[in-house]
Amino acid sequence: MATQTFSNSPPDTVLAMVGDPLLREDVSRVAAAAGVGLVLLDEPCGRKAWMAATAVLLDAPAAQRCAEGPLPRRSRVILVGHAVPQPCDWQAAIAVGAQQVVTLPANDTDLVAALSEASCRDEAGRGPAVAVVGARGGAGASVFSVALAQSASAALLIDADPLSGGIELVAGSEDLAGLRWPDLVLQGGRLGYPALREALPRRDGVSVLSSGRVGAEIQAGPLGAVIEAGCRGGVTVVCDVPRCATETTETALSAADLVVVVTPADVRSCTAAAAACPWLLACNPNTGVVVRGPAPGGLRAAEVARIAGLPLLAAMRPQAGIAEALERGGLRVRPRSPLGSAARRVLAVLARHLEAAAA
């Protein structure tokens, strides 16, 4: 593999000084999995390039050479190798100030996690996560999930219901190429969001991970890893969650900065929301309700929220033509529509909550 120059590389690139060609291949493979750029050098670089790199990967000889030069100490220096580290390797790691020693390919996931974390260091910050659940079947949770995702500046929409038929049908991304849950094989650890984003169908700024039309079992660990990847990538993560107390569902609820319960304004839905309230609050106390019209018995949104025992996040009147839109290419949320207005109000509540938590 030819050595590249660092001077023309973007500032979010990982720098690697690795002599063994096979180890270089492993490092390149892991960097690609983490979704980060990689520049390979034969000799220690200058101070400016050393400090500008997102992370630095060194084998033991390169670590020793860097330690002997005038380069300053920095964070995210990782020693990599094929064999179990020997005392001389640990000495080199200590000399250069490495924070981690990783053996490849045995510890691929550890290096993916470290590079994914490093790639997010200069971004504006973590993106928020929202879990949306219906008070009962047919409440409109999937539709509101899509409305939230389309109302955010950039979003990752996750289908957490293996029997939903695929939220891609609501989002209108069913004909786009990309991975669905049945195609995604995760063994654990962290994901790099850039790579995940490129692998998923994306429409109008929303990346969609759907259960697909055939469905697939969704495990708690992979779901948590995908949610975390999106948050670390700085996008708004919206998770459409089924109304069932499973480990997978509770992973999504617990990971959310806000849980949104969507309920129609009728007595049965209010009763269902009230029944689910203790479970939802036990998973996440940051839970509120969105009330969807019409109200056949004249129930007001505030009354619905009181019966459900949850704070009112937003109320919305019925949206005309939604059934036809879902049959003909999926939802397109207009900012001033009932769905768009309610979604923006919920996102504003979420932003205020995150600001208060950070203060």
Residue 306 pLDDT more than 90? Answer: yes
Which of the listed residues 69, 87, 119 is the one where a domain comes to its end?
Answer: 119
**Given 119, 138, 158, which residue is the final one in a domain?**
119
Question: Is 143 a member of any domain?
Answer: yes
112 and 192 part of one domain: no
pLDDT of residue 190: 57
The distance in angstroms from the start CA to the end CA of the chain is 48
Q: Check if the beta carbon of residue 192 is closer than 8 Å to that of residue 112.
A: yes
Query: What domain range is 38 assigned to?
Result: 13-119
Same domain (yes/no): 110, 143: no
Q: Is residue 189 part of a domain?
A: yes
Do 97 and 191 fall within a single domain?
A: no
- What pTM was estimated for this model as a whole? 0.72
The tens digit of pLDDT for each residue in 106-161 reads: 988 889 888 877 766 444 478 999 999 999 999 999 999 999 999 999 999 999 99
pLDDT-derived band of residue 27, with 50, 70 and 90 as boundaries? very high
Domain-terminating residue out of 87, 119, 151: 119
pLDDT category of residue 71 using cuts at 50, 70 and 90:
confident
Contact 316, 290 (CB under 8 A): yes
Q: Is residue 5 part of a domain?
A: no
| Mean pLDDT score, 212-238 | 87
Answer whether residue 1 shows pLDDT above 50.
no
C-beta of residue 149 within 8 angstroms of C-beta of residue 230? no
CATH number of the domain residue 67 falls in: 3.40.50.2300
On whether residue 3 sits in a domain, the answer given is no
> What is the percentage of the chain residues whose pLDDT exceeds 70?
92
Determine, yes or no, domain membership for 6.
Answer: no
| Displacement of CA 112 from its chain's centroid (Å) | 15
Burial annotation 246-278 (CB, 10 A radius, 16+ → b, else e): eebbbbbbbbbbbbbbbbbbbeebbebbbebbe
29: amino acid identity, one letter? R
Count of structural domains, the chain: 2
The answer to whether residues 275 and 307 belong to one domain is: yes
Please state the rounded mean pLDDT for residues 77-93. 90
Instruction: List 261's β-bridge partners, or say none.
Output: 133, 289
Q: Is residue 27 part of a domain?
A: yes
Asked whether residue 316 is domain-assigned, the answer is yes
Two structure tokens written together for 260: 């949104």
Residue 205 in any domain: the answer is yes
Q: What is the CATH number of the domain that holds 248?
A: 3.40.50.300
What is the average pLDDT across 295-307? 93
Q: What share of the chain is helix, strand, coil (3-state, %, to 5)?
A: 40, 15, 40
> Of 58, 192, 195, 42, whose CA–CA distance to 114 is shortest?
192
Which amino acid, 84? V
